[in-house]
Structure 1
Amino acid sequence: MSSPLFSAVDSYKQPTMREESGYASAASSQESLTEVYFTKPHLKFINSQLQKLEPQDILRWCITSLPGLFQTTAFGLTGLVTVDMLSKLEGPLKHNIDLIFLDTLYHFDETYALVDRIRRRYGTPVHVYKPAGCDSVNDFTTRHGDKLWETNDELYDYVAKVEPAERAYSELQVKAVLTGRRRSQGGKRGDLDIVEVDEAGLIKINPLANWSFAQVKEYVDANDVPYNDLLNRGYKSVGDWHSTQPVAAGEDERSGRWKGKNKTECGIHNPKSRYAQFLQEQESKRQEEEVKRQNQELENKLQQISLNA
């Protein structure tokens, strides 16, 4: 990612006196948002404190503490609860955090209908990002072939989700994102912290990490929060239509995603995507070849000069 983001390391760039606490004055340039520095001990302490708070209090902390804050969402139940909670926070600070929606072009019709309902209900800006160069399914299949999710699922995740997310973070100057992940969703999410910093330096806040599906659904019902109609048909976690199925009684909440595959994340929350690594390796090889070519050209010129002398 090209935009400057957070870091959480044991040793990191030494901040100036003005930056030492992660603070810069209001006179700082808006074009270059304040960077926040988290050492690992600091991050551990923050999580130990936020762990004790209700989601609304965590959201208040985010609003007052983190510049460049957005919410990434596929409009699942947890994300919808976050949107509703933000809209009801009291105080002078901005509460309607802009949303980032990754439109893979393969969402259910019910999901697209829900996006419109959320826009009307809350008036929150929704930034929609699609696969590069694609506005329709036809565009996507022309560029990448038919059923890419079957022929190369990691490439599909990259072009449909990871690259659009990276583009959104860069263009919108995203420094931190609210997510809808919870520990009760199982899989790799079972040991989620409230606040994480990924390998790319992006800070991720999981304000409802402590909640169960039952708690989320109870909030939705009590507050009349709009939700995806598919949840009334046995679905609990909704993604693309080609990789989402209803969940049977007793199954994990996300067991309907990528059924039959050894997979629990799409790549956005899995920084070690093998395809992303492949791209990095290819770029490194390209650069090495370019250096070799330039060195060979220089050697040839020197030999020519020597012969002409």
Structure 2
Amino acid sequence: MPSQHAPNVDFKGSGEEPISLSIHDDESGYASASSSTESLPEVYFSKAHLKYLNAQLQKLEPEDILRWCVTSLPGLYQTTAFGLTGLVTLDMLSKLSGPIKPKVDLIFLDTLHHFDETLALVEKVRKRYGTTIHVYKPEGCETADDFAAKHGERLWETNDELYDYVAKVEPSHRAYSELQVKAVLTGRRRSQGGKRGDLNIVEVDETGLIKVNPLANWSFKQVQEYIEANNVPYNELLNRGYKSVGDWHSTQPVAQDEDERSGRWKGKAKTECGIHNPKSRYAQFLAQQKLQQQEAELSQALQSVVV
């Protein structure tokens, strides 16, 4: 049964000042703006440096990749739906030793259509690790009933791109903006199949957001073995044939020989919800609408000045 209630978690922001990171075409490794007391420096990854980083990080174990992240990337958060890989990352972060103790908050997108088991796991994780969890829901909605009233019944069937946008993509962008997120840890791995087969360790998306996939090289078996060896809490649905758990309406158990994510949107030609893809067609449509509106407002303003 789906649940309409999110667990009791801390919605407090990080309070840190923003530091801008983006990809840069220069061949130098880092470029830095002039520093002053009024503005923080901007740090750029060149394409050449990004390629070099991936070649080097590819050789490291996930713990070492995470150690590099917490010492190198400001504005770092972990985005997670509390799948196995994300839980391994969280546990590894909690055990990193050294002079710098990582404080990486979690961002959880509550689509209002998660399984009860997923929401129960969120609370277990909060109690186990004491990590701050920032919960973001579809704009203007607190429950599944609110969502249906605003967007219509079973939107995931009538317009799945719109559903992905309002339930996941827009809340993620809102989270990144409000929390001043510059880099995120994800739970993606090459062995999950689909579009993830050629995944790099570090990526920079079209918005300049840095995405790090610390367990990109690991297999499902390696993830399972770590979970068991370290007694990491996990979603009870994984004991019932599920390998990748999303919304209750678009997640099914998988056969032994199927890819992990084959149970997501079964029967549809999609393996991602839009968060890790270039902007969806619906997002592009919204952007075009906004641009047209701005042009109309500008034209109207100019006409009023002429008159």
Structure 2-normalised TM-score? 0.89
Q: 1:111 to 1:34 in 2, by over 3 A?
A: farther
Any conservation in 2 of the 1:33–1:68 contact (CA below 8 Å)? no
Structure 1 stretches of 4+ moved >4 Å: 19-25
Partner of 1:6: 21
Partner of 2:282: 275
1:151 aligns with 2:134: no
Any conservation in 1 of the 2:242–2:254 contact (CA below 8 Å)? yes
Structure 1 regions of 5+ residues with no counterpart?
Answer: 302-309
1:131 aligns with 2:156: no
Partner of 2:105: 98
In the alignment, the residues of structure 2 paired with residue 23 and residue 78 of structure 1 have an alpha-carbon distance, to the nearest angstrom, of 36
Letter in 2 for 1:181: R
Partner of 2:233: 226
Letter in 1 for 2:123: D
Q: 1:138 to 1:9 in 2, by over 3 A?
A: same
> Of the two, which has the highest radius of gyration?
1
In the alignment, the residues of structure 1 paired with residue 210 and residue 106 of structure 2 have an alpha-carbon distance, to the nearest angstrom, of 16
Any conservation in 1 of the 2:185–2:211 contact (CA below 8 Å)? yes
Number of residues paired by the alignment?
Answer: 290
CA deviation after TM superposition for structure 1 residue 151, in Å: 0.9
Letter in 2 for 1:108: F
Any conservation in 2 of the 1:69–1:177 contact (CA below 8 Å)? yes
Letter in 1 for 2:148: T
Secondary structure of the structure 2 residue equivalent to 1:208: coil
Letter in 2 for 1:240: D
Letter in 2 for 1:10: D
Report percent identity of matched pairs: 72
CA RMSD of aligned residues (A): 2.1
Letter in 2 for 1:35: E
CA deviation after TM superposition for structure 1 residue 271, in Å: 2.2
In the alignment, the residues of structure 1 paired with residue 34 and residue 196 of structure 2 have an alpha-carbon distance, to the nearest angstrom, of 34
- Could you report, residue by residue, the CA deviation over 1:239-284 in whole angstroms, capped at 9, with x for unpaired residues? 0000000001211110000011111111110122111100111011
CA deviation after TM superposition for structure 1 residue 49, in Å: 0.4
Secondary structure of the structure 2 residue equivalent to 1:255: helix
Letter in 2 for 1:137: A
1:80 aligns with 2:75: no
In the alignment, the residues of structure 2 paired with residue 72 and residue 28 of structure 1 have an alpha-carbon distance, to the nearest angstrom, of 31
Structure 2 regions of 5+ residues with no counterpart?
Answer: 1-17
- Could you report, residue by residue, the CA deviation over 1:42-63 in whole angstroms, capped at 9, with x for unpaired residues? 0000000000000000000001
Partner of 1:181: 188
Letter in 1 for 2:294: Q
Secondary structure of the structure 2 residue equivalent to 1:227: coil
Any conservation in 2 of the 1:236–1:246 contact (CA below 8 Å)? yes
Once the two structures are superposed, the pairs formed by residues 111-126 of structure 1 within 5 Å of their partners are 111-126=118-133
Secondary structure of the structure 1 residue equivalent to 2:262: coil
Partner of 1:203: 210
Any conservation in 2 of the 1:179–1:207 contact (CA below 8 Å)? yes
In the alignment, the residues of structure 2 paired with residue 238 and residue 276 of structure 1 have an alpha-carbon distance, to the nearest angstrom, of 24
Once the two structures are superposed, the pairs formed by residues 33-72 of structure 1 within 5 Å of their partners are 35-72=42-79
1:239 aligns with 2:237: no
In the alignment, the residues of structure 1 paired with residue 247 and residue 101 of structure 2 have an alpha-carbon distance, to the nearest angstrom, of 32
In the alignment, the residues of structure 1 paired with residue 20 and residue 192 of structure 2 have an alpha-carbon distance, to the nearest angstrom, of 27
Greater shift in the superposed pair: 95-104 or 237-246? 95-104
In the alignment, the residues of structure 2 paired with residue 188 and residue 7 of structure 1 have an alpha-carbon distance, to the nearest angstrom, of 23
Secondary structure of the structure 2 residue equivalent to 1:254: helix
- Could you report, residue by residue, the CA deviation over 1:283-305 in whole angstroms, capped at 9, with x for unpaired residues? 11112222332344445x2xxxx
Secondary structure of the structure 2 residue equivalent to 1:288: helix
Q: 1:240 to 1:33 in 2, by over 3 A?
A: farther
Once the two structures are superposed, the pairs formed by residues 16-27 of structure 1 within 5 Å of their partners are 21-22=31-32
- Could you report, residue by residue, the CA deviation over 1:56-100 in whole angstroms, capped at 9, with x for unpaired residues? 000000010000100000000000000000111111212241100
